[in-house]
Amino acid sequence: MRPAVFVDRDGTLTIEGEWVRHPGALALVDGAGSAVRALHRAGYLVILYSNQSAVARGLITEEELSAIHDGLQALLAEHGERLDAVYACPHHPTEGLGRYKIVCECRKPKPGLIVQAQREWGLDLARSWCVGDMERDLAAGAAVGVPGILVATGKGAAEAQRMRAEGRPPRFFERNITDAVARILATSAQGR
């Protein structure tokens, strides 16, 4: 069984934007390609796990979301890398339309995307990690015993400040995905 690093999209792997509606709206954060490469070299699968309620809100279709993620893969390919898998929740509990307006098990902070990936890939969650810019990214991992790293990019700096003010600072907080990967590799080498 292989470990994985579950990486959030907006604000973590890509630059935070209002609503991503087409592949051209995506841009990688600095160092994203190198970070993915370092994880692959260390034996990790790199799996995107992302809430994408733009589908539920009727802003994009699932087909358009798939094209956006194909565009993300193309951006990473420019660095000789790729995501091993992409898992996205299209639902929203209150803002959705039709079949997308549901309380589901895949919308973070619930761990459904991680559970699905573990089942499909036979992952070793005991050696896996989550990286994101929101507390819900970390909570999804924590629900199944996967530690998380909050990054300051995207909404992360404000999120860390809020979490500290509420008396529960993130266990791991790094500047960006590059520093998060360095933390993962160093911590894993020490046996976590």
Q: Looking at residue 191, what is its pLDDT?
A: 63
Which residue spans within 9-60 are E strands per DSSP? 45-51
Which pLDDT belongs to residue 192?
A: 56
Is residue 30 within 8 A of residue 79, CB to CB? The reply is no
For the chain, how many helices (H) and strands (E)?
A: 6, 6
Active site residue 137: no
The catalytic position among 8, 133, 137, 179 is 8
Provide the whole-model pTM.
0.96
Grouped pLDDT means (10 residues each) for the chain, 192 residues = 97 92 93 98 98 95 96 97 98 93 97 98 97 98 98 97 97 98 89 60
pLDDT of residue 96: 85
Q: Which CATH code is given to the segment(s) 4-189?
A: 3.40.50.1000
Among this protein's residues, is 10 annotated catalytic? yes
**Spans of all domains in the chain:** 4-189
